[in-house]
Copies of this chain bind each other. A is one copy, B any other.
Amino acid sequence: MTNFEDLGFSKVDYDREERTGFPEIVYGLSKTSEQLKKIVEKLVSNHNKTLVTRISKEKATDVMASVPGGDYCARSQTLVYGENEPLDEGYVLIACAGTSDLPVADEAARTCKWMGCRVKTLYDVGVAGIDRLLAHRELIQGASVVIVIAGMEGALASVVGGLVKRPVIAVPTSVGYGTNLEGLTPLLAMLNSCSSGMSVVNIDNGFGGAYQATLIMKLAVDGGHPN
């Protein structure tokens, strides 16, 4: 039997937590403050938690005025309510190539944490100075899952992929200009990596990389058993 509420402009999917493990996450970009307020209110009263991504400061202020208890981060454009059950094994490593990738890295980190993961970060380790990266081999090889975030040519993902036994989730960013093609270049590079054990999400999709990493962590904590 299906379980959702129809707000006219939106059908809030209360069944999603039961079905997929986590409540609906709200894509804030093209929703109005009015729409966001109503959806967040419904999700928080049903699940005690939700995550809104790509939400501007203005809209977040509106929503928090209406639904208390939110925590907003402007750099990553995320608004979180509540938290999920902690996943107490290992850690997800979030590595990024340059300072310019920080907003995406933060979106990933905030998502992982809200979903229950332990997170470590390694920022600005692009391959132009490979020794900065290799100096952290232990941190990298100690991770259960690695999220690699890179713009320009995205080569960091391949190098990390060649160093680890664990899954790598690659997130291309739109950092660059000209033939970077707003992130298409690192995306294509990551899809063609000569390192095995890497899969890829949409450009600038720190959220998506984190979500996939957390599902992997959760399966691991559950010992590989189906849910």
Contacts and interface: CB of A to CB of B under 8 A. Distances in A.
A184 B179 contact: yes
A223 interface: yes
Stoichiometry, copies per complex: 8
A41 interface: no
Given A99-B31, A198-B212, A216-B219, A19 B192 contact: no
Given A155-B155, A196-B128, A204 B177 contact: yes
Interface string A112-129: 000000000001111111
Interface residues of A, number: 110
A57 to B, nearest CB: 16
B184 A31 contact: no
Nearest to A169: B199
Contacts of A217: 224
